[in-house]
Amino acid sequence: MIARLWFRLAVALLTTMAAPALSRADDAISPAQREGIEKIIHDYILKHPEVMIEALQSAEDRDRASAEARSRQAVAARRSELQGDTTSPIAGNPKGDLTIVEFFDYRCPYCKQVEPAINALLREDGRVRLVYKEFPVLGPDSVYASRAALASRKQGKYTKFHDAMIATKGALDTAVVLQLAAGAGLDIDRLKADMTSPDVEGAIKQNFALAQALEIRGTPAFVIGDEMVPGAVDIATLRQKIAAARKG
């Protein structure tokens, strides 16, 4: 059933690809001739199924290339927001020669999975600057955690608190967030008050708007140089992307 469906899609795709030529010839051929040409395409695919695979692959390659071009253009247009936004916490070398921007959610298991690789990278490469973009896409508990994290900057405890939350397994609800905050040495009453401040709210809204402009729909997502790198990549991939970005 699935194979037949893919075959029909491929026939439709190749017929569509031929449509411009047929359209230009509309004044020169009759409906019967047009039908005959379309049947030739159909019969040819039956005899040469590899054409179907090549056509689908070609369409996918064009879509991928178009998406990559749009992504690079969007990154270039939003570079100041990505790298120079003072509301975003920074790790690594603040004056590093290469900036990585990470969009993440504290409740995202893939963000937790990639964190050791990021920390190892920052230890081994003293020229990397990391910008954290709080992007709480997994519900109210994620939003609460991000608000608390951003508010913790006012007490100078972001890094310790961030590390505690990203390392937590299992639930990360209000009670757990506040318990981790206390463990990080935060004044809880002050933290709660700071969480409602306009700058915390504004930072999260700004990150969502930026993610939308970059067509980021999930976490984690990285921007390394001019390239968008989605997913929980390993340290070898991070090294490769950084080296390519430094070469320009």
CATH number at residue 191: 3.40.30.10
Mean of the pLDDT values across residues 150-166? 97
Higher per-residue pLDDT: 106 or 68:
106
Kindly report the average pLDDT of the chain as a whole number: 85
Q: Tell me the average pLDDT across 74-79.
A: 87
Same domain? For 118 and 202 the reply is yes
Query: If DSSP codes are grouped into helix, strand and coil, which group holds residue 91?
Result: strand
Per-residue pLDDT, 12: 53
Pairwise CA distance, residues 51 & 135, whole Å: 43
Which residues on neighbouring strands pair with residue 102, listed in sequence order? 132, 222
The domain of 18 spans: 2-77
> Does pLDDT of 8 surpass 60?
no
Judgement on whether residues 46 and 134 belong to the same structural domain of the protein: no
d(C-alpha 6, C-alpha 27), whole Å: 32
Residues 68 and 13 in one domain: yes
For the chain, what percent of residues have pLDDT higher than 90?
64
The encoded tokens of residue 28 equal 């020169």
In a shared domain, residues 159 and 228: yes
Among residues 54, 77, 100, the one where a domain terminates is: 77
Torsion-angle region of residue 89: left (phi > 0), alpha (psi -120 to 50) or beta?
Answer: beta
Residue 130 pLDDT grade (very low, low, confident, very high; cuts 50, 70, 90): very high
- Can you name the residues that pair with 229 across neighbouring β-strands? 222
Is the pLDDT assigned to residue 142 strictly greater than 60? yes
pLDDT of residue 3: 46
Q: Which of 77, 94, 122 is the last residue of a domain?
A: 77
Neighbour-count burial for 177-192, b at 16+ CB within 10 Å, e otherwise: bbebbeebebeeeebe
Which residues are 131's β-sheet partners? 90, 101
| For range 157-181, the mean pLDDT | 96
101 plus 62 within the same structural domain: no
**Residue 59 pLDDT class (50, 70, 90 cuts):** low
Nearest to residue 162, comparing CAs of 177, 140, 143?
177
